[in-house]
Structure 1
Amino acid sequence: MYESEAAGPDQRDDTAHPNVVEPFLDLDLQMLISMLDGDETGQSHFGVSLNIPGGVLYGQAISRKAYEEEWENSLRDASGSGSESLARVPRLVREAVREELGSRTPALLPRWVHLRDATFLTGAANQTMRYALWRGRLADVAGWSLSLPS
């Protein structure tokens, strides 16, 4: 439904904008991620297991800053064409967002979760995948635990 349709025929606006409905994000998990992001040193982390589409993912939750730094460091010394450009991607995105926002205040709570040393379990035999770094939308997390599988 468009905003102009919701207003009724007498109040129709010439410009129709779709209503954007965002999923309700888990406030507790958002706050934990926010605490990580608030650590200026980028050293804080905690073990977490996430139920996401397709399986369970677990690893060390880290801040966006730590994720960006580890991404850049992992690619800085990599061989191959394009590795230097790929290493700069997180920093370029952050700078573009800052430029776009200008003096406006960004959203206070994070919408992404970043993991280090992540393991993804699908439930299928021989389908365990490991990632040095992983990033996913908090909106895709159906459940979570502040623990790692034993």
Structure 2
Amino acid sequence: MDDDSAKAEQKDLLLYGLVKGITELGGRWGLTVHVGGATVSGIAIGSREWFDGLLDLMDGAGEGGDVVAHSLAQSFMELGPDRLAALSEGFLHMRDASILAGGTTLTMPLWRGALSEVTGWSSGNI
């Protein structure tokens, strides 16, 4: 059995279900996950809220960020909600995320990571 097959068999169906519920219902939930030796803690949000937040960040970035944000928003609208949901499948989206690794903490307004890379999690955020 190769590594990808082993990962697929170890899929945490509870975590996948919770993330799917947050995305479909538009909820929020304090969550801490362990990914690749780092701890990521924040507020789990739906993909729509994450994409909207990304556009807001880009729009406020100056130096042409507003042009890029507008172009990206147009692309998202053209995709439609079903395709946008497909782009988010298998990913965890967070806002106000703290990333703790090697004694360093980074705070990010938005974070997106592959659910397949999560090795552990707990309810609540740091």
Q: TM-score, normalised to structure 1's length?
A: 0.66
Distance change (3 Å), C-alpha of 1:85 and 1:23:
same
Q: CA deviation at 1:82?
A: 4.3
Stretches of structure 1 that go unaligned for 5 or more consecutive residues are: 1-19, 100-105
Q: What is the total number of aligned residue pairs between the two structures? A: 118
Matches of 2:48 and 2:38, distance apart in 1: 26
Map of 1:65 onto structure 2: 48
More strand, by proportion? 2
> Partner of 1:142: helix, strand, or coil?
strand
More helix, by proportion? 2
Stretches of structure 2 that go unaligned for 5 or more consecutive residues are: none
Larger Rg: 1
Matches of 1:71 and 1:22, distance apart in 2: 33
Matches of 2:6 and 2:72, distance apart in 1: 26
Moved over 4 A (4+): none
Matches of 1:115 and 1:98, distance apart in 2: 20
Q: Aligned-residue CA RMSD in angstroms?
A: 2.9
User: Looking at both structures, which has the greater relative contact order when contacts are Cα pairs under 8 Å and sequence separation is at least 6?
Assistant: 2
What percentage of residue pairs aligned between the two structures are identical?
25
Matches of 1:21 and 1:93, distance apart in 2: 32
